[in-house]
Structure 1
Amino acid sequence: MDRPSPSLSQFVLKMHSRCDLACDHCYVYEHADTSWRGRPKVVSEDTLVRVADRIAEHARAHRLPAIHVVLHGGEPLLAGPDRLRRAADELSRALDGVSALDLRIHTNGVLLDENFLELFAELGIKVGVSLDGDKASNDRHRRYADGRSSHPQVLRAVELLNRPAHRRLFAGLLCTIDVRNDPIAVYDALVALDPPRIDFLLPHATWDVPPLRPGDSATPYADWLFTVYRRWDAAGRPVPVRMFDSVLRTLRGESSLTESLGLAPADLVVIETDGTFEQADSLKTAYDAAPATGMDVVANTLDDVLRHPGMLARQQGLQQLSKECRTCPVVNSCGGGLYAHRYRTSSGFDNPSVFCPDLMELIMSIRDRETSAPIPSAGHAELLDAVQLDELASGLGSAETVSRLAAAQLDLNWDLLAAVSERAPRTDRTATAAWQLMVDLDVRAPEALDAAVAHPYTRPWALRILEGRAPQTIASGLAEIAAVGAMRARQGDTIAVPVRGGLLRLPSLGSVILPDEASVAEVTADPEGFTVRAVGCEMRVGWDEGLNGLTPHWHPVRIVERPGWAVALEDTDPLRDSHQWPVTDRLSAGEAKVWAEDLAEAWSLIQSELPGYAPGVAAGLRVLTPLHAPDGSDVSAASREAFGAVAAARPETPDLLALLIVHEFQHVKLGAILDSFDLHEPVGDRRLFYAPWRDDPRPLDGLLQGAYAHIAVTDFWRVRRLTTQGQAARTAEARFARWREQTVGAVQVLAGSGLLTPLGDRFVAGMARTVEKWSAEDVSPAASAEARRSAARHRADWEARNPARATHR
């Protein structure tokens, strides 16, 4: 297959050619290039039109799916809101129907305020902020011309970006390294600001003007970065770091995430305020006019720019590197380093990077740590500590530990909602009003709003939106969540909510049946109750009304409350169908009463006989969704996407309901763990394994899920054999004997798979300690024999159905 022709998909658009800071390490004003002096301070509107048209022309010709534009400077905020709006509008106009537009702005942050952020929210502009760490580190370079610190203003900007109204705009922090700064102090200061990403940048230097190298080390930049890497890795990699992620990706043979590493062809061009095209900005550090192409948006196309010798050189991958680089063992990761850093007057760019020793040392240190890394002593720094992760590995989980999992899942829901809101068209007033109400409630009644966002079926809906499967429900979904937040707050807010086929969905609270012709309902909530208005009708419902059909058009979610636990019997949410079994219709009053009685008995049994599981269930299981089993069998399910919910058809006895609850909640816990921790290698290994609880071969992830869930199953039968009598005790003993043997075997397969990460090794070792300690417990010869026969029958049947898979145990 022919290689696609070179193209440009990344553009740095200079909005202003001056800056309000006087950073002494700035490559624009403090290095070799002085071209900024002769350029207009602000890009003209005419230039913006021509830029947008040139980019669209190129995108159309090369059929580019996405275009990435960074508004830059100098300091781009100096261009002012009107000129920034014009840039966004022209790019959107030109690329409409051609390519998706990813628009960002890089700023020093000192001018960033609410007005700018409201503009960026409207225009869909994400914001990256330059910050070199703690105050002492940042003050080393990033000061005003009169010497004043810029640190307080930048912290204020980041605080604004971290507010719920603007968090979705936050692109990350950019930090230029100075090896005289304490690496741990810099890293900790940046992580404490909760950025979505961190970029560590090597200071710009060449062989003519080499970088500062204080002390005796030959690789001070590698030493500095690897110190940060160890801190980052030991903390569970709590935030993406572009440089580290790029090294890890290239070590696996994948592409880099930054132009400063890897061998991918350059696809970036800079457009200055006068409309001239330039190569990468970093070339300004090499020599005066080094980035120049002699081309501009009036006379030249972007394909003309691609034919410039400097651009062509950076399209040739390995071939454009120096002889020394081409024979280097880490060239696929390093890629020769940043192009500008290779410059020497006598030989141009035909040299290794001036940071070559540092890059080699850093890449090899990371490679060695990845291949022989010690088991981390802790998990996610802001989620769980080592003790809590080990506690979960045992199969249990305290109320505090499970509450932390729930908090992380709530954060994930919020991130998904922010992403969904970005998909809403600017003209969608319903979606805009819903998001604004959520922003307001986050200030006035955050707990009420969090309770709405935490509804287990929020995430499945949001993922369907982001996967492009239900774009028409953006406004309705956002409005429904905002309405529930307002209803829980009870502060008199009113919101318009689209109706789904005659059903007003109020997730976690219930649903209202409306006339078929109703398309929108207006909901107002106050301390006494709520009012729904639609198609000229008005319904008033008190907070204590509507249970068991007393108000026939209002179907509230029934809450089963027992000492220490409250769980919603969810049979109202039309989006609850997230499990492999069909859900029931709305339960009758009699059916709901039987469910409540069985749940009460099941909870009592869990508290008395499985006390190690009860606190976690009480803290994390908020919803039980009734299922319909066509053949009347005992079925249950948990969805990886619906934290806090399990689903089940009501079994014959409450003790079996208790088993279903603890079994499925194991899946819920492990799903949340896997959302935050890598316990096994990424999907890619296609080996399948025998699982004694399934008739089909399972991938490693499925075997891990099943083994973890069967810790609770085994424990249930272990206890039941001691608390029951007669045939019930004998049945429990046989099942304990079988699941003990089978779960031990499954855990051993996991441990020997070679597919676990170091943290996964530690987690599975914790599982093994739990199941192996049961091996010393006596069971009768009859129970042992029955367990062996049952296991052998299942294995024989499985191998008959899966002959090609019979070798994997």
Structure 2
Amino acid sequence: MTTRIPVPLTQFVVKMHSRCDLACDHCYVYEHADSSWRSRPKVIGEGILAKAAERIGEHAVAHRLSAVRVVLHGGEPLLAGPDRLRRAAEALRAALPADCGLDLRIHTNGVLLSRAFCELFAELGVKVGISLDGDKVANDRHRRFADGRSSHPQVLRAVGLLNEPEFRHLFAGLLCTIDIENDPVAVYRALAELRPPAVDFLLPHATWEDPPKRLPGEATRTPYADWLLAVHRLWETDARPFAVRTFESVHRTVRGLSSLTESLGLEPSDLAVLETDGTFEQADSLKTAYDGAPVTGMNVFAHSLDDLARHPGIAARQSGLAGLSGTCRACPVVRACGGGLYAHRYRADNGFDNPSVYCGDLMTLINGIAESGGSSSTPAPVPVQGGRPLLSTALAPAQLDELARGYGGAETVAALGKAQLSLTRAMLAAAWDASGQGRAAAWGLLSELDGVAPGAVDAVLAHPYARAWAARRIAGDLTVGLGPLAALAAAAAVRAGRGDSVPVPVRGGWLHLPTLGRVAVADGEAVVTGRPGGFEVRAADGSVTTVLDQPLRRIRLAGGWTVALEDLDPLRDSHDHPVAERLSEAELLGWTGALREAWELLGRDLPAYAEGIRAGLATVTPLRPGPAGRDVSSAARQAYGAVGIARPATAPTLALLLAHEFQHVKLGAVLDLYDLYDRADDRLYFAPWRPDPRPLEGLLQGTYAHLAVTEYWGTRTAAYDGLAGEAAERARAQFALWRRYTAEAVERLGESGALTGLGVRFAQGMGESVTPWLDVPLPAAAERAAERARAERTAGAERVERMVEA
């Protein structure tokens, strides 16, 4: 038996009750091959709950888990009663270490859901998922009481409760099991009318021994794919009004990203199930294969979760491509499909060494979704060095904690940069794939160079605005054309210096080579050739150029930080403010002096932030000045490593703007890797420093940026300790104001109820950073000045709030 744990377990299903108040005829627990429910206790015991919480807690500590998800399940979990559910939630929270978040959910048929249950779940932070198969006709086909009565009215009442303002944040979504006899349009419309944050459309459980339903005389061999594609078309037409994991997983996996569900993709399973008798089982879906299929022979008292993670059945669901049948491994859509749900591969003669019984449906679904988005079913070759994954969540829990407190040293920020480079590669692949150009010269050269000169490709793709083109193309903006991708390939060829050539379209008389500069060239198609130590550009008119007319200018600062002043790239207009044109020599000198002084101030006043800035901020894009007296700065979400700033009047202000905007850059990179909040939350929140309400991400971004602002004014205040004067008084007043604003914002984030378990942990880290500043004594005059400013802002926010409500 192996002693290594390939993947720690982070998702747990805890069976609270083994019976159900409905008699759904498609239920895998009671109606399929496994009959173990008959011999199990109806309700999970107190001792089992306590031991389970202890096991999960020790597993989290041993593997330094940043978060775990626990789903309270059944049967019907509400039958366990509110007291048992409360004790389960409290035991789990008490057992987990302080640095591990808990995403706690309950999945119910909704029949027993009441206001009292919702109030309990609001108190305990439990999100609620509801099973509903569509309109009344669709739902009544399977989800009935034992006496045949419809459950539809009770389920609608439950969803109505969750849609009330005080409980909306608890609503996790709906789970709909597909029946091809149901009208997909009617099902979709019925579910969409309920305004769910998410809907999971599930294939009914089936195996090669017990195949899925087929309709008599049906004209298609893939009815489940056709049903889902009909829903997908409506979902896209309606601008994706709610999350659908199946559709989003296909969109992600065909572009090399991770799946959001175990039924697609090649990600290893990290799920375990605890039954009411204390036994550990594998995924519940295996109950559809054969009697005893999920059994592990382990229980919560005699076995740790490490023991369970080593079980051969769980390991089999963690082996990726190697664990699939030969048919699957040879399939062109295998990385998107992943062989389908493990249980659906079962055949009596060879176990699970088969494609999914839904193989044809999955291929048709994946191809159909890919084609609807302008993509082919087999994505174009992606530059991937040495087989490395396209997107790597390469942050250790300690690094995420470091970032949560607002900081991030060189190693942590380098890890963020590595993940961003992977994401840039994936987005470029998706955008190029959607272009339909196949192995055109630019893409083919990038792919080739990635194998022989990976450093050259990395240097170009790490350019902050390399991804801006891909983001615009993916968003449907085709006005940017394909030229920027060709320019990236040309820049990589120049850096590689091997003699490779690539044609690049030229418009407006300039050929831009990202990370290098630009050349004045006649419009048309120029051919760029990389030479050892240089390059050659042959224009459409036959002229040849071997030098940059306007090189990208870089400023070397003390301590090894080199920053580019990007005033050339056509895609640098990704910021919220107009960009400056090419800097004059006098403007360049002004920027050079200001940056050198600002960098010295950052090292003195914000040393814990300066290290990350040096490691991750590669580019400053000059912006046009704002209105008189207003400083202008920006961070673009699709331009990691860059900030836009209009040079302010003083170096201290520039230092503050650099720190403030790089906070946005870091948090944007974190949000690309982790869900810190419920993205379906559509409420608006007031930040203490703004009169207008913002989405939750806006509040989160502002709070995170103001951690640095608070520390900046805190250290400036300390420097003025015992001194009088206007500068000292201003520093104290600003410190008093921003420490209070930031602490209040952290509190609002915690009260939102929309943070994930990991998001709660992240907010706690922010709180740990700002709280000590609240204890720093300040003169009464500074506190009064801060209170006046805060009162004025609060009054303005209240006026806006009344207008919004009206």
Q: TM range, normalised to the smaller chain?
A: 0.5 to 0.7
CA contact (8 A) 1:434 1:482 kept: yes
Aligned to 1:407: 418
Worse-superposed segment, 607-616 or 797-806: 797-806
1:249 & 1:499 partners in 2: Cα distance? Answer: 60
Task: Report Cα offsets for 1:178-220 as digits up to 9, x if no partner.
Answer: xxxx89857579xxxxxxxxxxxxxxx999995799xx9999x
Q: Is residue 569 from structure 1 mapped to residue 565 from structure 2 by the alignment? A: yes
CA distance in 2, matches of 1:423, 1:439: 17
Q: Is the CA contact 2:392–2:422 (under 8 Å) kept in the aligned structure 1?
A: no
Q: Equivalences for 1:738-757 in 2 at 5 Å?
A: 738-757=737-756
2:627 matches 1:631: yes
Q: Would the alpha carbon gap of residues 186 and 727 (structure 1) be closer, same or farther in structure 2, given more than 3 Å must change?
A: closer
Per the alignment, in what secondary structure is the counterpart of residue 440 of structure 2? Answer: helix
1:118-138 Cα deviation digits (max 9, x unpaired): xxxxxxxxxxxxxxxxxx9xx
Question: How do 1:539-554 and structure 2 match up within 5 A?
Answer: 539-542=544-547, 554=549
In the TM superposition, residue 768 of structure 1 has moved relative to its aligned partner by 0.9
Are 2:657 and 1:640 equivalent residues in the alignment?
no
Match of 1:489 in 2: 496
Structure 1 residues 450, 723: closer, same or farther in 2, change over 3 A?
A: same
Does the CA contact (< 8 Å) of 2:64 and 2:397 recur in 1?
Answer: no
What is aligned with 2:668? 671
Matched, 1:462 2:470: yes
Aligned to 1:703: 699
* 1:731 equivalent in structure 2: 730
The superposition leaves residues 99-157 of structure 1 with CA deviations (integer Å, 9 ceiling, x where unpaired) of xxxxxxxxxxxxxxxxxxxxxxxxxxxxxxxxxxxxx9xxxxxxxxxxxxxxxxxxxxx
Q: Is the 8 A contact 1:734 1:784 kept in 2?
A: yes
- Provide the residue aligned with 1:19 in structure 2: none
Q: 2:524 aligns with which of 519, 526, 529?
A: 519
Q: CA deviation at 1:291?
A: 7.8
Aligned position for 2:595: 599
Amino acid at match of 2:485: L
In 2: Cα distance, 1:690 partner to 1:476 partner: 42
For the pair 1:422 / 2:336, whether they are aligned, the reply is no
Deviation for aligned residue 1:451: 1.4
Cα drift, residue 615 of structure 1: 0.9
**d(CA) in 1 for partners of 2:611, 2:805:** 40
8 Å Cα contact 1:583/1:628 also seen in 2? yes
User: Per the alignment, do residues 570 and 682 of structure 1 end up closer, same or farther by CA in structure 2, a change over 3 Å counting?
Assistant: same
Deviations 1:712-761 (A, max 9, x none): 11111111223356321111111011111111111111122222111111
Q: Which residue of 1 aligns with 2:533?
A: 528
Matches within 5 A, 1:54-203: none
Counterpart residue number, 1:436: 444
Quote the offset at 1:478 in angstroms: 2.0
Give 1:623's aligned amino acid. Answer: T
CA offsets per residue over residues 761-798 of structure 1, 9 Å max, x none?
11111111111101221211111111111111122233
Unmatched 5+ stretches in structure 1: 1-135, 137-181, 190-204, 239-243, 269-278, 316-336, 338-351, 366-379, 547-553
Please state how far the C-alpha of 1:457 moved relative to its aligned partner: 1.5
Counterpart-to-counterpart distance in 2, 1:624 and 1:708: 20
Structure-to-structure mapping, 1:16-31, within 5 angstroms: none
Q: CA deviation at 1:237?
A: 8.9
Letter in 2 for 1:264: I
Contact 1:236 1:381 in 2 (8 A): no
Shift of 1:502: 2.5
Change over 3 Å in CA distance of 1:763–1:294 after alignment to 2: closer
**Residues 1:387 and 2:311 aligned together:** no
SS at match of 2:545: strand
Do the aligned residues in 1 keep the contact of 2:66 with 2:758 (CA within 8 Å)? no
Give the AA of the match of 2:718: L
Partner of 1:589: 585
Whether 2:615 is the aligned partner of 1:622: answer no
Deviations, residues 646-680 of structure 1 (Å, cap 9, x unaligned): 10110001111000000000111111111111111
CA–CA distance in structure 1, aligned partners of residues 689 and 31 of structure 2: 67
Alignment map for 1:650-689 (pairs within 5 Å): 650-686=647-683, 688-689=684-685
Give me the whole-angstrom Cα distance separating, in 2, the residues matched to 1:591 and 1:704: 35
Letter in 1 for 2:621: T
2:551 pairs with 1:556: yes
Q: 1:433 to 1:694 in 2, by over 3 A?
A: same
* Length-normalised TM-score, structure 2: 0.56
The Cα shift of 1:610 comes to 1.2
Root-mean-square deviation (Å): 4.7
| Alignment partners' CA distance in 1, 2:104 and 2:490 | 40
SS of the residue aligned with 1:643? coil
- Which residue of structure 2 lines up, in the alignment, with residue 502 of structure 1? 509
Of the candidates 178, 181, 185, which is equivalent to residue 264 of structure 1? 178
In 2, are the aligned partners of 1:722 and 1:729 still within 8 Å (CA)?
no
Task: State the structure with more CA Rg.
Answer: 1
Aligned to 2:802: 803
1:800 Cα deviation from its structure 2 partner = 2.8
CA distance in 2, matches of 1:399, 1:443: 27
CA–CA distance in structure 2, aligned partners of residues 453 and 684 of structure 1: 33
- Any idea what SS the aligned residue of 1:678 has? coil
Distance in 2 (CA, whole Å) between partners of 1:210 and 1:578 is 56
Call closer, same or farther: CA 1:777–1:503 in 2, change over 3 Å: same
Change (3 A) 1:492 1:652: same
Distance 2:404 2:631 in 1: 27
Counterpart in the other structure of 1:449 = 457
Secondary structure at the counterpart of residue 455 of structure 1:
coil
Report if the CA contact (8 A) 1:235-1:381 is conserved: no
Partner amino acid, structure 2, of 1:538: S
Equivalent residue, structure 2, for 1:476: 483
- C-alpha contact (below 8 Å) 2:392/2:419 kept by paired residues: no
Distance 1:490 1:360, change over 3 A: same
Residue number among 646, 651, 656 corresponding to 1:649 in the alignment: 646
- Structure 2 residue matching 1:613: 3-state secondary structure: helix
Residue of structure 1 equivalent to 2:382: none
Cα distance in structure 1, aligned partners of 2:407 and 2:653: 19
Instruction: Give the residue type in structure 1 aligned to 2:532.
Output: P
Distance 1:713 1:355, change over 3 A: farther
* Matched ranges for 1:284-323 at <5 A: 284-286=208-210, 301-302=219-220
* 1:262 Cα deviation from its structure 2 partner: 4.1
Which residue identity does 1:713 align to in structure 2?
V
Partner AA of 2:464 in structure 1: P
Normalised TM-score (structure 1): 0.56
* Structure 2 counterpart SS, 1:751: helix
Q: Note if contact 1:639-1:646 (Cα within 8 Å) is conserved in structure 2.
A: yes
Paired positions, count = 511
- The 1:795–1:265 alpha-carbon spacing in structure 2 relative to 1, beyond 3 Å, is same
Q: Which amino acid in the other structure matches residue 516 of structure 2?
A: L
Q: Which deviates more from structure 2 when the two are superposed, residues 660-669 or residues 500-509?
A: 500-509
Identity %: 39
Could you tell me which runs of 5 or more consecutive residues in structure 2 were left unpaired when the two chains were aligned: 10-27, 43-48, 70-102, 110-127, 134-174, 183-202, 231-262, 264-286, 301-390
CA–CA separation in structure 2 for the residues paired with 1:730 and 1:664 = 25
What's the offset of the Cα at 1:801? Answer: 3.6
Pairwise mapping of residues 360-399 of structure 1 onto structure 2 (< 5 A)?
A: 382-399=393-410
> For residue 652 of structure 1, what is the amino acid of its counterpart?
A
Q: 1:254 to 1:712 in 2, by over 3 A?
A: farther
